[in-house]
Amino acid sequence: MKNNIIIHFICSDQKGIISKLTTILYDSGNNILSIEQHVDTENQKFYIRISIEKKSIRQYFPKDELLKLSKDLKGKISFFDSNKKINVAILGTKESEPIYDLLIKYNSGEFQCEIPVLISNHDELSSIAKQFDIDFCKIDDNKELVDVLKTKKIDLIILARYMQIIPENIVKLYHNDIINIHHSFLPAFKGAKPYHQAYKKGVKIIGATAHYVTDKLDEGPIICQDVISVSHKDSINQMIQLGREVERAVLCRAVRAHLEHKIIVYNNKTIIFN
């Protein structure tokens, strides 16, 4: 990934927003690589993602001017350095497939991040951590989990079929920085054995949902969803296997979008830029 500066900006929709932003950037000698915007006409909200070329560490970036503009427009602005790798912790229980998928993509350079630790409440996943040369931590309580996250300076938590409830203090500490994969096309089939529920209902599609974790179970902002067709010919085991394939793909897409700063969260909804 190129070394770029990413800007996220939200405010009430009004005339001249893009002109004001781009004028500040142009006057300061910055080169705009891409602009993506969205207007929520129902709620009169404006969202924009701007990518700026960062040529050198001495390059002037008009952060103060942009902050002032944000204040004048009563908006919210955020800045990200694409070259700064995010520290990621993967949390799993016993299921290895989604973790393998994430770590293979990480090893191949598809994810612009660092994954210093794999955390579990069981020992089964320790061999995966050893295989990919990352630390493994078996945790038994929430205080221990917090200590590991702080020690490893974790920025993003990925729940790869982690079958434990994340405590409220960690959810607050990592607001919109915990991604979970849910084994259904939310909000359908919550709780245990979703594929068994789907099988009994005779559904014709099954899916998966990646979302940010909030204090309300499986009700956080949705990042990515996908579905696959099934039929009466598919057994429960076949549906489970098909569903897990969708889960892995959806989780990876959500993680990639987060790492590339392509997500803006507002009022429990997400704006996903290309």
DSSP string, 195-210: HHHHHHHT-SEEEEEE
Classified by CATH at the fold level, domain 86-272 comes out as Rossmann fold (3.40.50)
pLDDT at 188: 64
Please say if the pLDDT value at position 248 is more than 60. Answer: yes
What is the rounded average pLDDT of the residues 251-270?
95
Q: Say how many C-beta atoms besides its own lie within 10 A of residue 173's C-beta.
A: 15
Domain boundaries, the chain: 4-81, 86-272
pLDDT tens profile 163-195: 888 999 999 999 999 999 987 764 566 666 776
Catalytic residues: 218
- The per-residue pLDDT for range 90-145, each reduced to its tens digit, is 999 988 999 999 999 999 999 999 999 999 999 999 999 999 999 999 998 889 99
Q: What is the pTM of this model?
A: 0.89
pLDDT confidence of residue 262: 97
DSSP label at residue 102: H
Q: What angle do CA 138, 104, 179 make, to 5 degrees?
A: 60
Among 134, 104, 136, which Cα is nearest to 123's? Answer: 136
Residue 230 has pLDDT above 60, yes or no: yes
Q: Does domain 4-81 have CATH number 3.40.50.720?
A: no
Alpha carbon 100 to its chain's center:
18
